[in-house]
Amino acid sequence: MQLKEGEKEQILSCVKDVLNKSSKKREDLIPILQKVQAKLGYLPALAMEIISEGTGVSGADVYGLATFYNQFRLIPPGDHQIKVCLGTACYMVGGDITLESFERRMEIKEGETTSDRRYSLERVACVGCCTMAPVVVVDDEVEGKVTPTRVDGIMLALKNGNDQTKDKQDQEQEDGEQQ
Ligand code: FES
């Protein structure tokens, strides 16, 4: 997945900072990966390359470790993160159908991010709101009784929000250019 504008610099500075504060020994590899992921939200390939160079651990070993533990995320999270609960209560009332509806609407599978990096989709275990099943967490908001029709409403609201944000950014850029 392509890096966003300015992301390369952000990755370089983040990894450099984390490496400078670590012993750079092989046994520190997991804490290094954890810290980089905490700062960037995922582990970009570029970050793993720099970590490999900085620690002397081969790129294949760094990548192998990152893929072995499911705490590490190799795909960037979307600007909007959608988490569909597939705990027992949600699954029993169609959580899997809700997930499929999002997959169809976003044209990605769970665990993936759209190519424009606006949306990511994942399945989660019980989020503690079983009475509202099937439950979806959109960014930090819990949405209950999410039927396929509601999926369309959620996606539309997110798209409208994105459009408004983009309009605002375009306007700010225009104002900046005029000054
Ligand atoms: S099973 Fe989905 S909120 Fe509990």
- Could you read off the pLDDT of 23-75 as tens digits, one per residue? 988 899 999 999 999 999 999 999 999 999 999 999 999 999 999 998 999 99
Q: Report the separation in Å between the CA atom of 143 and the middle of ligand 1, taken as the mean of its atom positions.
A: 11
Pocket of ligand 1 (CB under 6 A): 85, 87-90, 126-130, 133, 135
Nearest CA to ligand 1 atom 1: 87
Q: Report the separation in Å between the CA atom of 71 and the middle of ligand 1, taken as the mean of its atom positions.
A: 21
CB under 8 Å, gap of 24 or more: what pairs does 11-14 form? Answer: 11/40, 11/44, 11/46, 11/47, 11/50, 12/46, 12/50, 14/39, 14/40, 14/47
Q: Report the separation in Å between the CA atom of 123 and the middle of ligand 1, taken as the mean of its atom positions.
A: 11
Task: Return the pLDDT at 167.
Answer: 63
Vertex 89 angle, CA 86 and 93, to 5°? 85
Atom of ligand 1 nearest to the CA of 129: 3
Task: Return the pLDDT at 35.
Answer: 97
Q: Where are the beta strands (DSSP E) in 49-172?
A: 80-85, 119-124, 136-138, 141-143
Q: Report the separation in Å between the CA atom of 136 and the middle of ligand 1, taken as the mean of its atom positions.
A: 9
By the 8 A CB rule, do 128 and 147 touch? no
Atom of ligand 1 nearest to the CA of 133: 2
Task: Return the pLDDT at 66.
Answer: 95
User: CA-to-CA distance for 168 and 148, rounded, in angstroms?
Assistant: 30
Task: Return the pLDDT at 168.
Answer: 64
By the 8 A CB rule, do 151 and 105 touch? yes
Task: Return the pLDDT at 5.
Answer: 84
Query: Which residues of the chain have a pLDDT value below 50?
Result: none
Vertex 7 angle, CA 71 and 82, to 5°? 45
By the 8 A CB rule, do 91 and 99 touch? no
